[in-house]
């Protein structure tokens, strides 16, 4: 039963102040909108010298490949021709499409032509799921803009630029690694380049729904009822389900942001299967916050219930499939829908099983997550950058909780303002894209970053950004630790004070001693907060065998897993694991001939799908996993976190 809470709450001043980070440019609900998919074969020009945009003096060319020119007559000098140039598939990285491009880093120009039959009076945008690592886009010779960051979506408005027939779109993609960029120069994964996710021409009405976040408020019903009636004034919720079992009533909260509004607009949010329908009115600029109570079956790994949610505003209507759940911490516990949960997880990169290269399709996402389900996981750590939307939507459907991360990885330019701006922009784009994904419960602001004042300031800014953009999820980071003595390791990274959940990366038994070291090691934490061991593991070449002390053998890896699991179970505040890693992945840092050959071999499954002995060790452990009983729940706090 849906009860209406007619409180259209106008956007607050505080929210506007925080918009120091530019609003993400991508349109939400893109897939459900009219328009044209631009996926498929694109012509390409490999351009290691940036000849397409720079002249022999390395000065910007007034006329370059972006003109997509054709010789006007036999004497006209044009030294490129996309139409006769080879093609590459979009979406897809370029490195695994042609052997000569495997380790290519630099610029590649993409071009394709298309027709666009759009409705009179409508607006149009070109949207990219991702372009690694940066892109500049032209349509019909007009420069639309740039985007920095290889793992998040972006869009440009092309109303009035796009024409009905024979449009020329040219994209300069450059994956050159830069010290001030994110990721920076050094990573333990391959720097795939290209238009790695889908491209779409999107059509919208003049005024349209640019973004809508529809989630459950963080608190569960009992404290919600007390708080709502206390703060929002009893009587504002006449008939709050005192008679109805409060257990089922949930507070749905959210925001809608219109684009093109010139006056207040009526917005309706509807959840048909829950018989919930709520109407509010935006402010002049088309923004509104809303809250209403509905009876919803909670989303969880055991029952990943998704609801159709329909948002209408003026001529526009969008739908999304959304699960409703709450996630929060209480002392050392993580509570999903108010109940303690242990995150039985695995880490993974976004590489397609078998084929290699960036995973791009629904089937490739499901193949990877299917392996995680087979392991008995209820959680995956998507490392070290936002994976594609196919992945997080598949996690919603399959019932896997998600740790999502931006590539603030190892050592970056902590004091460089453009680096900080890039991190904040990637974070904002990631949260805007996946803000409605029930599966995503943890936003990670970094991985194995060295403690320093500049680093702490940098990461705390990101933590604040997360809290401002999304107060329904938890903030974490993969932290390092140090040895107090030969038998005691301590997690006391100062950033821990700002996080909800502490990620811990440790390689006892691989980089740090031999497997037996696990047997005598004790872990201590400086915080009364949940710990997720976000990485442990060992390399093993599938099919390579030896005794448990032979490096790179399956036996060694399996032994590390057995001893690690026994060691970690003793950590009182351990509330999750995501061992490194589900599948072997490409890394130029791993040359060992006949063993690694350019692959990090810490996978439990080889890149061509062969399960190693340790896969069974973890699967069996998760099957019977009951870590030391978590301490009894403390009474819920008055309000907030
Ligand atoms: C690091 C890092 C991973 C890397 C792993 C390894 O902890 O976070 O990106 O691949 O260790 O060394 O295998």
Strand partners, 189: none
Confidence (pLDDT) at 218: 72
How much distance in Å is there from the Cα of 188 to the middle of ligand 1?
Answer: 6
Task: Supply the pLDDT for residue 248.
Answer: 61
pLDDT at 37: 97
- Judge if the beta carbon of residue 470 lies within 6 A of ligand 1: no
Atom of ligand 1 nearest to the CA of 384: 9
Which of 117, 29, 122, 10 lies closest to 317, judged by CA? 29
Which residue ranges in the chain fall short of pLDDT 50?
Answer: 1-17, 225-246, 628-641
If you measure from the C-alpha of residue 399 to the centroid of ligand 1, how many angstroms do you get, rounded to a whole number?
A: 26
Q: Establish whether residue 447 lines the binding site of ligand 1, counting it when its CB lies within 6 angstroms of any ligand atom.
A: yes
- CB contact at 8 A, 106 and 175: yes
Q: Residue 240 corresponds to which tokens in the numbers above?
A: 């709050």
Residue 535 Cβ < 6 Å to ligand 1: yes
Q: What is the pLDDT of residue 580?
A: 98
Residue nearest to ligand 1 atom 4, measured at CA: 188
Give the burial string for 312-349 (b: 16+ CB within 10 Å, else e).
bbbebbbebebbbbbbbbbebbbbbbbebbbbbbbbbb
Distance CA 100, CA 518 (A): 44
CA of 466 to the centre of ligand 1 (A): 25
Ligand 1 contact via 505 beta carbon (within 6 Å): yes
User: How are the residues of the chain apportioned to helix, strand and coil, as percentages rounded to the nearest 5?
Assistant: 20, 30, 50
d(CA 602, ligand 1 centre) in Å = 9
Mutate to test the pocket of ligand 1, among 535, 588, 596 (most ligand atoms within 8 A of CB): 535
Number of H helices, E strands in the chain: 8, 33
Distance from the alpha carbon of residue 181 to the mean position of ligand 1, in angstroms: 19
- Asked if the peptide bond before residue 384 counts as cis, ω within 30 degrees of 0, the response is yes
The answer, yes or no, to whether any atom of ligand 1 lies below 6 A from the CB of 600, is: yes
Which tokens hold the place of 344?
């039985």
Residue 539 CB less than 6 A away from ligand 1: no
188 lines ligand 1 (CB under 6 A): yes
Q: Which atom of ligand 1 is nearest to the CA of 448?
A: 8
pTM of the shown model: 0.93
DSSP letter (8 states) at residue 156:
E
557 C-beta closer than 6 A to ligand 1? no
Helices assigned H by DSSP within 276-434: 362-374, 389-398, 417-434
Average pLDDT score over the chain: 92
CA of 603 to the centre of ligand 1 (A): 11
> Mutation test of ligand 1: which of 186, 187, 188 has the most ligand atoms closer than 8 Å to its C-beta?
188
* 137 contacts 145 by C-beta, under 8 angstroms: yes
What tokens appear for 65 in the block? 């490949």
Residues 575, 475: Cα–Cα separation, whole Å: 15
């Amino acid at each position: 039963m849906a009860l209406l809470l007619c409180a259209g709450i106008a956007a607050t001043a505080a929210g506007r102040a925080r918009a120091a980070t530019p609003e993400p440019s991508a349109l939400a609900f893109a897939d459900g909108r009219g328009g044209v998919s631009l996926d498929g074969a694109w012509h390409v020009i490999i351009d290691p010298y940036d000849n397409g945009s720079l002249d022999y003096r390395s000065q910007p060319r007034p006329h370059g490949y972006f003109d997509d020119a054709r010789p006007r007559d036999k004497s006209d000098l044009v030294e490129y021709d996309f139409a006769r140039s080879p093609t590459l598939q979009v979406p897809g990285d370029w490195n695994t499409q042609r052997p000569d491009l495997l380790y290519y880093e630099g610029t590649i120009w993409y071009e394709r032509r298309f027709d666009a039959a759009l409705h009179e009076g409508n607006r149009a945008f070109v949207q990219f799921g991702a372009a690694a690592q940066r892109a500049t886009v032209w349509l019909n010779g007009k420069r639309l803009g740039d985007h920095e960051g290889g793992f998040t979506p972006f869009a440009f408005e092309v109303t009035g630029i796009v024409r009905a027939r024979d449009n020329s779109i040219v994209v300069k993609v450059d994956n050159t690694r830069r010290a001030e960029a994110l990721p920076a120069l050094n990573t333990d994964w391959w720097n795939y380049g290209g238009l790695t996710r889908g491209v779409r021409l999107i059509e919208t009405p003049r005024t349209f729904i640019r973004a809508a976040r529809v989630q459950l408020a963080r608190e569960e019903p009992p404290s919600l009822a007390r708080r709502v009636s206390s703060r929002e004034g009893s009587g504002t919720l006449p008939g709050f389900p005192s008679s109805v079992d409060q257990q089922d009533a949930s507070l749905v909260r959210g925001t809608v942001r219109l684009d093109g509004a010139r006056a207040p607009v009526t917005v309706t949010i509807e959840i048909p299967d829950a018989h919930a329908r709520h109407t509010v009115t935006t402010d002049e600029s088309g923004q509104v916050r809303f809250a209403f109570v509905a009876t919803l079956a909670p989303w969880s790994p055991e029952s990943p219930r998704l609801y159709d949610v329909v948002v209408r505003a003026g001529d526009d209507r969008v739908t999304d499939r959304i699960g409703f759940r709450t996630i929060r911490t209480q002392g050392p516990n993580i509570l999903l829908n108010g109940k303690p949960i242990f995150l039985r997880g695995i880490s993974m990169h976004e590489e397609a099983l078998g084929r290699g290269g960036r995973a791009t399709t629904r089937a490739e996402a499901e193949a990877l997550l299917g392996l995680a389900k087979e392991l008995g996981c209820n959680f995956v750590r998507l490392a070290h950058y936002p994976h594609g939307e196919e992945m997080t939507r598949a996690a919603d459907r399959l019932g896997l909780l998600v740790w999502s991360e931006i590539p603030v990885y190892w050592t970056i330019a902590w004091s460089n303002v453009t680096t900080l701006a890039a991190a904040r922009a990637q974070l904002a784009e990631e949260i805007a894209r996946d803000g409605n994904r029930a599966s995503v419960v943890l936003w990670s602001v970094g991985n194995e970053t060295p403690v320093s004042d500049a680093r702490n300031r940098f990461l705390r800014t990101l933590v604040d950004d997360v809290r401002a953009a999304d107060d329904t999820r938890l903030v974490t980071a993969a932290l390092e630790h140090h040895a107090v003595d030969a038998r005691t390791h301590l997690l006391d990274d100062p950033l821990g004070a700002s996080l909800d959940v502490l990620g811990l990366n440790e390689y006892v038994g691989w980089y740090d001693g031999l497997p037996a070291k696990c047997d005598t090691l004790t872990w201590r934490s400086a915080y009364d907060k949940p710990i997720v061991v976000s990485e442990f593991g060992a390399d093993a070449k599938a099919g390579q065998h030896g005794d448990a002390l032979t490096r790179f053998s399956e036996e060694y890896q399996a032994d590390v897993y057995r001893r690690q699991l026994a060691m970690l179970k003793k950590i009182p505040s351990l509330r999750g694991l995501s061992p490194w890693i589900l599948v072997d992945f490409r890394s130029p840092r791993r040359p060992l001939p006949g063993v690694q050959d350019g692959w990090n071999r810490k996978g439990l499954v080889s890149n061509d799908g062969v399960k190693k002995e340790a896969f069974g060790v973890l699967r069996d452990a998760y099957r019977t996993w009951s870590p030391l009983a978590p301490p009894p729940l403390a009474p819920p706090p008055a309000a907030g976190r």
